[in-house]
Amino acid sequence: DAGVIQSPRHEVTEMGQEVTLRCKPISGHDYLFWYRQTMMRGLELLIYFNNNVPIDDSGMPEDRFSAKMPNASFSTLKIQPSEPRDSAVYFCASSLGTGVSPLHFGNGTRLTVT
Amino acid sequence: QKEVEQDPGPLSVPEGAIVSLNCTYSNSAFQYFMWYRQYSRKGPELLMYTYSSGNKEDGRFTAQVDKSSKYISLFIRDSQPSDSATYLCAMANAGKSTFGDGTTLTVKP
């Protein structure tokens, strides 16, 4: 199994531009999570999906952020327009069920907005 | 106040030392307690999990949970340079995991 695959690994963009982050979860996993990690705020849950349906998006910071999961093998996190304070590492994770099922994280996308 | 507070560190210990990492939490609804390890420029990976008070041992690692005090710990015995990483505690309820900010550990040869 290739694990959770995220692309791109690094993204540098200018303020105001649209950014799209991509994630391929582990095949068969029915939960998908988007997290953001910064030095100041640690690892924050942005949104999670169950069977492609968004369950809780209360962590999405504002309307500039949106996430979709059109099928079981693909999800996107979009920021439009991007701002310098969005600079962070964005992680996608998937799991099989909840509770004691571990989260399997990708290696993240390091986003820098100048 | 954050739901999960983790001792910030960083910690630097000599090889072979016993390491203690600690977290407290405020939400009594948390049912599952986990420790993740994160190497530089990598995603976190699950190290240990438990759902009850008491100790759980796995090799050199012991996870301890005290629900009455809302306190969890991770002990690493005979620490190795390869244990150098950031350790994140996490607590879960209803499908959501809430993470501590992490403690960065360096084990010096």
pLDDT in tens, A11-64: 999 999 999 999 999 999 999 999 999 998 899 999 999 999 999 999 998 899
The Cα A14–Cα A12 span in angstroms is 7
Residue B94 φ/ψ, nearest 5 degrees: 50, 40
Minimum-distance CB partner of A102 among B46, B94, B98: B46
Interface test with A, best of B99, B103, B104 (most A CBs within 10 A): B99
A48 touches chain B (CB under 8 A): yes
Instruction: Spell out which residues of chain B touch residue A43, defining contact as CB-CB under 8 Å.
Output: 44, 88, 99, 101-102
A64-114 pLDDT per residue, tens: 999 999 999 999 999 999 999 999 999 999 998 765 678 999 999 999 999
The Cα B84–Cα B40 span in angstroms is 10
B105 touches chain A (CB under 8 A): no
